[in-house]
Structure 1
Amino acid sequence: MSARGKARRRALEVLFEAEQRGTTPDEGITSRRASTAQVINPYTVEIIQGVVAEQERIDEILSSYAQGWTLDRMPAVDRAILRIGAWELLFNDEVPDRVAVSEAVTIAKELSTDDSPDYVNGLLGRIQQLKPTLLD
């Protein structure tokens, strides 16, 4: 697994954990740094800070194009995967769009339900198609 792939997973863990515990992702990063010798990849921090900074806009976009599901009804892990994927698609020009979608689908295959990869692919694929109109 690439360094960026590992960073995405770690960011997913922190975002998911923060939501489940009702804390902030920053508290999650601080806690991990204090309780482990594990080095947190700078890209993990960039993803988390990016998702937090753009979460309102990301959630608005996800809600607008999610068919049949509100954000609240989605599995929490899918919500976090979609937020990371949408952030990479819309706000990180260093990651090619197809890579952002592919990485999100791969994580969904490994960590979520059997239906999640197709749903993540469909929703992020739609956002990718509409990207030029979403960032006005």
Structure 2
Amino acid sequence: MGARTKARKRALELLYEAEARGLNVGQLLADRVAAPTTQHPLPDYTVTLVEGVLAHWGEINEVLETYSQGWQLDRMPSVDRAVLRVATWEIVWNDEVPDPVAIAEAVELVQGMSTNESPTFVNGLLARVSDVKATLA
């Protein structure tokens, strides 16, 4: 597993944990940076991802609600929400990651962690986000 793939997985875990436990994501991130819960500190790219998602939280949620074709965010599996938020930030606000890479990484993450329908749903929604990103940023 590549360094950025691991960082994405850690970002997904942080976002998922914060939601599941009803915690503030920014505070959880700060806590984990200050006192890691594993022998390895959070990768820098994990911090970048979570901070990026937090900085654009409302915009990301609006994009996902708009282009998910009838699916409200609160009806999506929480893993899917977390992955979609990370990938949307990478697609729209991070020019260092090619869109197809962000989409493929997101699909890979949900394949082992969410529902059987999630990979197709995530792929389609993120492809649409990629198609319209020029109008979003």
TM-score range, shorter chain: over 0.9
Matched, 1:21 2:24: no
Equivalent in the alignment of 1:90:
92
Q: Number of aligned pairs?
A: 135
| Cα distance in structure 2, aligned partners of 1:84 and 1:134 | 16
Equivalent in the alignment of 2:45:
43
| Cα distance in structure 2, aligned partners of 1:17 and 1:109 | 19
Matched, 1:6 2:6: yes
Q: Structure 1: which 5+ runs fail to align?
A: none
**1:1-51 Cα shifts (integer Å, max 9, x gaps):** 100000000000000100111112233231472533321100000000000
SS for the counterpart of 1:118 is helix
Q: TM-score, normalised by structure 1?
A: 0.94
Q: TM-score, normalised by structure 2?
A: 0.93
Q: Structure 2: which 5+ runs fail to align?
A: none
Equivalent in the alignment of 1:122:
124
